[in-house]
Amino acid sequence: MPIDETHSRPHSEESERAVLAAILLDAERHLAATSSRLKPEDYYFERHRLLYEAMLALQEAESPIDLRTVQARLEQRGQFDSVGGVAYLATLEVDLPDLGRVDSYVEIIK
C-alpha cells in the first residue's frame, strides 16, 4: 500500500495498528476515548485513515463496531480493497495491543 507522500512527519505503524486493534476489541471504551483526540488525518498510513473513518462513521450511526461491520462499511464505500481486504483486517484482529497503553499509542500517532 503506497504511503501518502505529503505526510512527512514521524509515524509509527505499530501504534496506529494498536489503536485500531484496541477499538476492534472494545469500541465502546476505546473509540469514545480516542475520537475526541484523534482525527483521521492524524493517521500516517492511508489504510489506517480509511479504517478509522469507517469506525467513526459506524459510531456516528450508533452501529456496533467489529471486524464484520467495519468490512461492510468499507465495502459500501468501495474502500475495502484499498485497506488490504480480509487479509489485512484479520491481522488487526490478532494484534493484541496492551490495552493499558492505548493513550500512549494515541500520543505517538498525534
Give the long-range contacts of residues 18-21, CB within 8 A, separation 24 or more. Answer: 18/95, 18/97, 18/98, 18/101, 18/102, 18/105, 19/97, 19/102, 19/105, 19/106, 19/109, 20/48, 20/51, 20/52, 20/55, 20/92, 21/92, 21/93, 21/95, 21/96, 21/97
Residue 103 banded pLDDT, cuts 50, 70, 90 = confident
pLDDT in tens, 43-68: 999 999 999 999 999 999 999 999 99
Rounded to an integer, the average pLDDT of 18-45 is 93
Residue 32 banded pLDDT, cuts 50, 70, 90 = confident
What are the structural domains of the chain? 13-109 (1.10.860.10)
Better-scored residue on pLDDT, 69 or 98: 69
